[in-house]
Amino acid sequence: MNALSLLKQDHDKAKEVIEQIESTGEGAVKRRGELFQGLVDDLTVHERIEEEIFYPALQKHPNAKDLVLEAYVEHGVVDTLLDEISTIDAGDEKWMPTFKVFKENLEHHIEEEEGELFKKTKSAFSTVQLEDLGAQMAALKEQAQQELMEEARKES
């Protein structure tokens, strides 16, 4: 699969899960926690394929470098917010407001990626290169998902 289609698919899925989480009311605290854990796992895998394959490849192109460096920082902010939410009880009144701040940050990051960053990617790589990057990312995605499952198994 083309690298950009793969990333876009992940973004769309994250947005969908975020919407589901936002619609969980006070009576669905357990469901909220489960959905949130799934979102954290998905984003952990997504950030890995970007930081280990996509960003390093793109960073080699001088006119994309600054944007990529900004994207790393944005991942850091998103991760900090996810950590913070993880420390709050899903039924606590502070949970959803903190989640909303996370959502705004993630949406901003996705917008920048799909906008400027994807534009630069398309001008920096050929279709064949994008397919090749996509294949590498799909392979790492599968590996990272398996690693997460193994970790979860060990913890339970």
**What is the b/e burial string over 96-127, where b = at least 16 CB atoms within 10 angstroms of the residue's CB?**
bebbeebbebbeebbeebeeebeebbeebbee
CB neighbour list of residue 85: distance below 8 Å, 6 or more residues apart: 36, 95, 98, 99, 102
Q: Which residue, 113 or 144, is less far from Fe ion as judged by CB? A: 113
Q: Report residue 2 as tokens.
A: 């083309």
Q: Which of residues 9-48 bind Fe ion (CB under 5 A)?
A: none
Smallest separation, CB 141 to Fe ion (Å): 12
**What is the b/e burial string over 20-59, where b = at least 16 CB atoms within 10 angstroms of the residue's CB?**
ebeebeeebeeebbebbeebbbbbebbbbbbeebbbebbb
Q: Which residue, 67 or 113, is less far from Fe ion as judged by CB? A: 113
Q: Which of residues 68-87 bind Fe ion (CB under 5 A)?
A: none
CB neighbour list of residue 47: distance below 8 Å, 6 or more residues apart: 75, 78, 79
Smallest separation, CB 30 to Fe ion (Å): 28
Q: Which residue, 50 or 95, is less far from Fe ion as judged by CB? A: 50
User: Is residue 50 a contact residue for Fe ion (CB under 5 A)?
Assistant: yes
Smallest separation, CB 44 to Fe ion (Å): 12
Smallest separation, CB 113 to Fe ion (Å): 5
x/- letters, 96..115, toward Fe ion (CB under 5 A): -----------------x--
Total number of residues binding Fe ion (CB under 5 A)?
A: 2
Smallest separation, CB 142 to Fe ion (Å): 17
Contact residues toward Fe ion (CB under 5 A) are: 50, 113
